[in-house]
Amino acid sequence: MIFDYPRILYALFLLIPLFIYDILRSVYKPWFTQRHAPQIKNTEGTRFTSVYTAKSPAYNKSGRKFIASIIFFRLFLALAIIALAGPRWGTGFSPAEYFRGLDIVFAVDVSRSMDIRDAYEENLPPAFSSQQGALQQSRLERGLIIARETIISMPGARVAAAVGRSRGYLAVPLTYDNESALIFLEALDGSSMTGRSTNIESLIEASAEAFQSSSSARKVIVLISDGESHSGVLRNILNVCAREGIIIIAVGVGSDEGRLISPLADQSGQQPVISRRDAAVMRNIAERTNGIYIDGSRQDAPLNLSSHLISIATETNPLNRSDETKQRRSLFIMLALAAYAVSKFVTRSFTPRGSKLASIVSIILMLSSCSEGKILLMEANYLHSRGRFDEAILSYTKALDHDDASPYAEYGLGLTFYLMDQEDAALNRYNDSRSLLETLPDAEHRELRYRNYYNSGIIYFEKQEYQSAAAAFREALKAEPRRIEAKRNLELSILSINMETSSQNNSENRQEQKEILFDYLRDEEQQVWRSREWTAEEDFTGPDY
């Protein structure tokens, strides 16, 4: 067993005097009894010791309970100290945990050839054969399905999206909020892109710009295309990717037989054009960057892509190592809470008939108050306070599966994304937290409702969206009317709105004044030229010199 913060274990030495004191008290029980036995007075005022002594059966029973309570409380302190030290043992993470050291950019080709419907899957019924192209998926649709299924299967990775036709664009920057990339891919159809040719070089170059050189995460580009490139030089950008350690996984969509783009020759004599998947180009792109080629027509293409991404994430790198020990803090937290519950329960007295049932019910109630979701929240909050945002995001994501913790997990994700300068992702998480709270009574979780609106107002104010900021602060005051900071920020938002409105009016007035002055000068200049009379040239018959 190893510890993240072994110095915290020195606090265990403070428990040694307490254990010695407890042992001495149990050994010299008669002396402690006489010293601390209750004293009462008789009617004459004479003091004498109570019958509740060390020889009394009642004392023996209550004394054992008291000693057991002390022991379990000391055990609770010891387990809490060990949990704070961050114990680790065992190796390996779950597949989802491995993705936290992986940055992935999905580069999607949206050229005209990607609209061809020949991206049928293997092992499908005959109705989807090449003879019935109307029932088949287009190359773009098949590629987007593979991308969406892969993103859903790895919640811990940072994901970005780039699109390209004659030029590549980075549409969604790297973010832990995978929903942003999913929403973009859902709406992607290529109709908003201009240009007719395909430039895979520009698409890969735009995707590579999403990576940060300071990040130690593995960098992967998932290129989704049919491989037909009509412009650009692939060799240059592939050398850059290989030099910077960027892996390109090429997903080829379409069919090797191809399909006609122009079925009939037009009036200018253009011959029919057949578009085919160029698997050789896609394989070359992958091999030059230590990636692999995946046939998008295969039914298991999303599974193969996810499996290869897991294998990349598990390779040796600063964030994820296959021999990295697993964090076991949550186990010690649960044991510490159980020990604390027993220390409080053991001193209770019950009737002989119902004592066993009451003990079971009490322990169940005590442990149920700290469910697995709440323990995950405690762990995530601790990681968040230490600045370990990647691990905190992973714990918050796990807590989303528990109904009692999901609103707080969404809020924690929003706060983490805000500290990572991802304001839009933070706003989405705050909105999701508010949506989950709508199913609960208004009187519950008032503090969380307030913080969701208040933090949203802060982000809107920083983005200079003062109308939205004022609305968010108003909602925050509805949840907690006595918060002075929300009132102050609401006033600042209203003042900013007024200043913005007045500045707009002043700019409009200045523009009107400029236009009036320009019209005046123009009229004056025209009047000057109109008032001049051209004089005729004099007749001169002499020599021209």
Q: For position 532, what pLDDT does the model report?
A: 47
Contact 372, 333 (CB under 8 A): no
Contact 98, 81 (CB under 8 A): no
Contact 455, 426 (CB under 8 A): yes
Q: In the Cβ-directed half-sphere of 399, how many Cα atoms lie within 13 Å?
A: 29
The ranges of the chain with pLDDT < 50 are: 31-32, 34-37, 40, 43, 48-55, 58-59, 95, 123-135, 264-268, 316-323, 350-358, 360-361, 364-365, 367-369, 532-545
Q: For position 286, what pLDDT does the model report?
A: 92
Q: For position 396, what pLDDT does the model report?
A: 86
User: What backbone phi and psi angles, to 5 degrees, belong to 274?
Assistant: -105, 125
Contact 243, 271 (CB under 8 A): no
CA-nearest of 102, 317, 307 to 221 is: 102
Q: For position 392, what pLDDT does the model report?
A: 82
- The H helix count followed by the E strand count for the chain is 19, 13
Contact 103, 360 (CB under 8 A): no
- As given in the structure block, the two tokens for residue 286 are 């992958």
pLDDT tens per residue, range 489-523: 888 888 888 888 877 666 666 666 666 656 656 66
Q: For position 104, what pLDDT does the model report?
A: 92
Long-range Cβ contacts of 473-481 (<8 Å, 24+ apart): 476/450, 479/446, 479/449, 479/450, 479/453, 480/446, 480/447, 480/450
Contact 189, 152 (CB under 8 A): no
Pairing of strands 87-91, 325-327: antiparallel
Neighbours of 285 (CB within 10 A): 26
- As given in the structure block, the two tokens for residue 122 are 């293997």
Write the single-letter amino acid at 83: A
pTM of the shown model: 0.53
Neighbours of 145 (CB within 10 A): 18
Q: For position 316, what pLDDT does the model report?
A: 46
The Cα 52–Cα 49 span in angstroms is: 8
Pairing of strands 168-175, 87-91: unpaired
Write the single-letter amino acid at 56: S
Burial class (CB in 10 A: 0-12, 13-18, 19+), 465: middle
The Cα 138–Cα 120 span in angstroms is: 8
Contact 184, 112 (CB under 8 A): no
CA-nearest of 499, 477, 497 to 487 is: 477
